[in-house]
Structure 1
Amino acid sequence: MPLSEYEQRVLEQMERALTSDDPRLANTLQSSGRRPVARYVVAAIGLIVGLLVLVLGAAKSNVIVGVVGFAVMFAAAAWAFAFVPRSRGPAGAVRDDGSVAARPARKRGRQGRAGLMARFEARWDRRRDLGR
């Protein structure tokens, strides 16, 4: 059963309020949530093959085969979790009219690191001065 016009308006207002209050949560709820399932399946197969090679190496008392099996297992696990897509955060804030205001760009590079280091040094100096 479709929603009435009033219910649709209330739902849109709730969406706008949620997006403006907590844009990261709204972005998370709107994302499709697809995970790279094929990557995990291939990694699981690699883990099983590596485990079998490791057990075969232990049964035959061959250290080289055991090390190769462990390396295959490690590589499969590392490959599965190495490139997991991360959320980029909210695209911006939703205005009252429903349009999206883009978030301001972050400054990166040396300036951001220099600011961080300056804050750490200032905090260190304050702690040192309080100890005297």
Structure 2
Amino acid sequence: MDATNETFTRLLPWTAPEGKPCVLRTDNSGGFLSRVADSVERELIEMGAGLLEHAPAILDNGKASPEELRFLGRRLAEALRDTLRVAESRGGRLLPPADFGEDDGDEGAARGSDGPGGRRT
């Protein structure tokens, strides 16, 4: 297949209302929906970083209520889930080491382009 006609499958940083993954199949990584997904990914990472920055103040406060601690735990879990989804999506879009001109041995299997995060078809 000609490289200019390759299509890519990208895991998007949001899910469908029923919780199923959303995937974009495109031949243009700079298209409108890809740019929206990039923006959402940046926002999710920034929100998670901000939450992590403020977490010690609550955790170190001996007066934090169980409700406050549960709320923080839920928000941290959500931030971790979102960040892992972004990592999966971005990792799936990496080229395998052979495409870089180097073979890193076993590392290539973990960084390959197979999988729902960014499979080339």
Does the TM-score normalized on the shorter chain lie above 0.5? no
Higher relative contact order (CA 8 A, sep 6+): 2
TM-score range, shorter chain: 0.3 to 0.5
Determine which structure has the larger strand proportion and give its number: 2
Bigger proportion of residues as helix: 1
**TM-score using structure 1 length:** 0.34
